[in-house]
Structure 1
Amino acid sequence: MKNRFFYLLLFLTFFATNGMAQDFSKYFTDKTLRINYTFTGDVSKQDIAVDELCVEPRWWGKRNRLTEVPMEGNGQIIVKDHATGAVIYRNSFSTLFQEWLSYPEAQTTRKSFENVFLVPMPLKKADVTVELYNNHRQIITQMTHTVDPTDILIRHTGYKDVTPYETLQMPDDTARCIRIAYIAEGYQPSEMPLFIKDVKEAMEAMFAHEPFKSLRNRFHIVAVKAPSVDSGTSEPRAGIWKNTALHSHFDTFYSERYLTTLHLKDLHEWLAGIPYEHIIVLVNTTTYGGGGILNSYNLTAAHHPKTKPVVVHEFGHSFAGLADEYAYEAEAIPMYPKDTEPWEANITTLKDFHSKWENMLDKRTKIPTPLNPKHMEKVGVYEGAGYSLKGVYRAFQDCRMRTNENPEFCPVCRRQIERVIRFYTE
């Protein structure tokens, strides 16, 4: 009863603040404010600093439900009207910096990471707050700064010399759609026809999955031809370093197949002036790897036999905030404390299972649910998810978020993806 009262109070507070910010033109102009931050620190202390403010010609993100988020994330950016203190925009995110804090290196070394967030350009002075959460869903650091839209040092970008791009799909309604930019990484100018071919294949792989397939007409897709000097990507373990548009590399956090880019300012500079909100980076390599970070980017090797399932899996992370459902024999990364309910919709520690897929269970379903090859299509509560063999549970015996071999998302993941699509487009 106490928990239900808390969530009711939270909902009422949330609703009250939301109602003040639904008129886009009251608080914003049709431009994008891009804020570059530096996140720095170690496991004991974290700091946030503003690096640079940029303005781009158009705003391509949400214009409705401005103060709502479809998932909590590992952090949030919150914009308030400076004069009244009213929340006028909010978005959630995850970062490589927060993931790195769970690795042993963060115990002894301080490091800095680039992070870039897009918000609509305020008409008047606004206060911007960035909050970072730990894996107990508690704020570990935050900072607030004031943005004056008349500031002459806000750099204009995307008004000329825009990176060449092709539009591959238009939505039925350009006012209510989801904009995805595929961007080339490790493709030389002569390889751009190959890049366009790769994008089309990756795009069709995504739209072969429900609910993307049924709601395909709500997506705007562009392919951005960012040129690289060298072909391919860097492989530090092999001593191979390439000069590419985004300076991507394998061996992120010394994990061999973890392919990422840490150069988020370069990423967004290549995209300046282009209609985008969500980003899929295709890397010109045959080596297996990739990564997906909520509301940051999905980055996938383009020429491995498993590219198609991987790009879809990683978009599950970056777009819908889905968690990995596989487990390791030895849990090297304690991402999900057993005393805290994860915010991700597709895993649970049973601390607040009522908020997850409890309403999708058959009344006779045992919790936890024993594995049974005869009931592969049964929604249950199966132990082993979120990198943990014990104490973290998933909804289905197999899913696109668990293995590359499974051909589709499970019902719980499909429901979450559809919720996010409808959040942005209805």
Structure 2
Amino acid sequence: MPFPSKRLPALAALLFAACAAQATPPATVRVDYTHSGNALSEQYALERVLIEPLPWPGDLGRNLDDTDRGQNRVEVVDAKTGDLLYSRGFSTIFGEWRTTEEASRINRGFQESVRFPKQDKPVRVRILRRDERNQFSVAWSVEVDADAPEVVRKQPASGAQPLAIRVSGPSPRKVDLLIMGDGYTVADMGKFEAAARRLSAHLFTVSPFKERAGDFNVWALAVPTAEAGVSRPSTGVHRASKLGTRYDIFGSERYVLTLDNRALRDIAQHAPYEFIEILVNNDTYGGGGIFGQFSTVAAGNDWANYLFVHEFGHHFAGLADEYYTSPVAYQSSGSRMEPWEPNVTALRDPSRLKWNKHVKAGTALPTPWPKAEYEEASRAYQKRRAALRAANRPESEMNALFREDLARTNKLFSAAPHRHHAGAFEGANYEAKGFYRSEMQCLMFDRSERFCNVCKDGISAIIDLYAPAAPAR
């Protein structure tokens, strides 16, 4: 066992309390399916329906998602009446992959899952996607009877027991965050626990998580691997890790994800969770985050604190990247549809800017900032960064470069007139032109330590979806 068995009775009591908030907590239903296609088309195919070992962790009074986030949405409706019973927005790895050059040449398939509270009747599960009008339309649907004989009900043992890192109350009233480990051997379990505690503690020093820390439960779970670390194919390193997490996703040396959704879900189902962050036992800078799926971070890197929070921002709240000078695998579509992400805009109508409440009267839109100077310095920085990776230089040199780059940006921005103002600053969403962010600097823009006010609002809305704020007295 990765964690001492003496902790298990206390954990069992916590799990019982987490379920006791609802008189009869429903079971958790999971639908596994394949999402395949290319840049121009997509298909879905059902794999299996199963009942997870633990009851539904969520608040049944908050079954419907009103945040309008995600490239996709799952809807569970009554199979007979069509009444909407459950909904959540999410995005997918397939959705990112189809914007890459490879998707213009070949078809690929990706594993996906949706989870929802069991109903006492057959339901229709619908997967929606945003269309060219930026509205949701049904892409696929399937009828699910969770009481049918073919539903999988017996799950294999996880190979590990979850550890309670932070318990603020019953799961249905809290956000349940599960921190998973990949690439940790039996001897590394203490290292994983320490990293889970350290990084989750840091998360709650960053606003608005800091002010809402009491709305979160945090669990940790790692199944030991034979070798330490995860795969990094570009350097010839391959590891058979339990979750299949690896670097070099879509050809980006710093992009870390797992494409083995079934392995991830089959282990995660043994702990209460709504959100997952995977710690990989590596020192090389890297991470990733998909809204409503999971996020990752190289736990041993000097920038792990920043990466943990930044990538969680993607996964938890659907925040867009606000940077635009770093190389990415995605190809620009050339279109400027208004993004669904709350923290970037195409600024089609300045009078209806989505974060107008933060903008002072008289602020110019677009808002001036030292863009040319920033881009000139960034081009030089990116060349040095690429050269360090190409030469496989020690990670300490890359970390030093990152510190130098942040110090230079801070110095440049310090004298800018709109340094601490909200507006519409051009350059965001991987594009130098046509997309705008709300402030010059934010944790989603560079390696600074705070979210802008718009990102804080976006995060708070998701916290409210899972753990509604108590009414003022």
**TM-score normalised by L of structure 1:** 0.89
Judge conservation of contact 1:329–1:389 (CA < 8 Å) in 2. Answer: no
The residue identity in structure 2 corresponding to 1:184 is G
1:54 maps to which of 50, 56, 77:
50
Pairing of 1:6-405 with structure 2 (within 5 A) = 30-56=26-52, 57-133=54-130, 137=134, 142-157=139-154, 163-172=160-169, 174-328=171-325, 333-334=330-331, 338-351=335-348, 354=352, 356-371=354-369, 373-404=416-447
Judge conservation of contact 2:171–2:272 (CA < 8 Å) in 1. Answer: no
Mapped to 2, the partners of 1:367 and 1:355 lie a distance apart of 9
Task: Give the match's secondary structure for 1:167.
Answer: strand
Judge conservation of contact 1:81–1:125 (CA < 8 Å) in 2. Answer: yes
Mapped to 1, the partners of 2:22 and 2:174 lie a distance apart of 18
- Superimposed CA distance per residue, residues 41-69 of structure 1 (whole angstroms, 9 cap, x where no aligned partner): 11121101111111023001342231224
What residue is the counterpart of 1:412 in the other structure?
A: 454
Task: Give the match's secondary structure for 1:375.
Answer: coil
What residue is the counterpart of 1:421 in the other structure?
A: 463
Judge conservation of contact 1:79–1:127 (CA < 8 Å) in 2. Answer: yes
Q: How far has the Cα of 1:336 moved from its partner? A: 7.1
Mapped to 1, the partners of 2:328 and 2:248 lie a distance apart of 19
Mapped to 2, the partners of 1:266 and 1:352 lie a distance apart of 45
Mapped to 2, the partners of 1:259 and 1:329 lie a distance apart of 16
Query: Quick check: 149-158 or 51-60, which moved more?
Result: 149-158
> Structure 1: which 5+ residue stretches go unaligned?
1-23
Task: Give the match's secondary structure for 2:433.
Answer: strand
Mapped to 1, the partners of 2:137 and 2:331 lie a distance apart of 17
Mapped to 2, the partners of 1:49 and 1:414 lie a distance apart of 37
Give the direction of change, closer, same or farther, for the CA distance of 1:134–1:335 in structure 2 (3 Å limit): farther
Q: How far has the Cα of 1:159 moved from its partner? A: 8.1
Q: How far has the Cα of 1:151 moved from its partner? A: 0.9
- Superimposed CA distance per residue, residues 223-271 of structure 1 (whole angstroms, 9 cap, x where no aligned partner): 1022212210101111211011111111111111111100111001011
Mapped to 2, the partners of 1:415 and 1:47 lie a distance apart of 35
Judge conservation of contact 2:100–2:331 (CA < 8 Å) in 1. Answer: no
Q: How far has the Cα of 1:396 moved from its partner? A: 0.6
Q: Give the superposed CA RMSD.
A: 2.2
The residue identity in structure 1 corresponding to 2:43 is D
Q: How far has the Cα of 1:360 moved from its partner? A: 1.3
How many residues are paired up? 401
Query: Quick check: 179-188 or 321-330, which moved more?
Result: 321-330
Q: How far has the Cα of 1:77 moved from its partner? A: 0.7
**Higher helix proportion, which one?**
2
Mapped to 2, the partners of 1:141 and 1:172 lie a distance apart of 36
The residue identity in structure 1 corresponding to 2:35 is F
Give the direction of change, closer, same or farther, for the CA distance of 1:51–1:97 in structure 2 (3 Å limit): same
Task: Give the match's secondary structure for 1:113.
Answer: strand
- Superimposed CA distance per residue, residues 308-362 of structure 1 (whole angstroms, 9 cap, x where no aligned partner): 0011000100001100000127886345755311000000001366261012111
What residue is the counterpart of 2:380 in the other structure?
A: none
Query: Quick check: 329-338 or 278-287, which moved more?
Result: 329-338
Judge conservation of contact 2:443–2:451 (CA < 8 Å) in 1. Answer: yes
**TM-score normalised by L of structure 2:** 0.80
What residue is the counterpart of 1:7 in the other structure?
A: none
- Superimposed CA distance per residue, residues 356-412 of structure 1 (whole angstroms, 9 cap, x where no aligned partner): 1012111110000001624311111100000000010000100000111x1110111
Give the direction of change, closer, same or farther, for the CA distance of 1:48–1:301 in structure 2 (3 Å limit): same
What residue is the counterpart of 1:5 in the other structure?
A: none
Give the direction of change, closer, same or farther, for the CA distance of 1:272–1:403 in structure 2 (3 Å limit): same
The residue identity in structure 1 corresponding to 2:125 is V
Percent sequence identity over aligned pairs: 30
Bigger Cα Rg? 2
What residue is the counterpart of 2:384 in the other structure?
A: none
Mapped to 2, the partners of 1:288 and 1:209 lie a distance apart of 21
> Structure 2: which 5+ residue stretches go unaligned?
1-20, 371-415, 469-473
- Superimposed CA distance per residue, residues 89-120 of structure 1 (whole angstroms, 9 cap, x where no aligned partner): 11111111011111111011000001111111
Mapped to 2, the partners of 1:296 and 1:410 lie a distance apart of 23
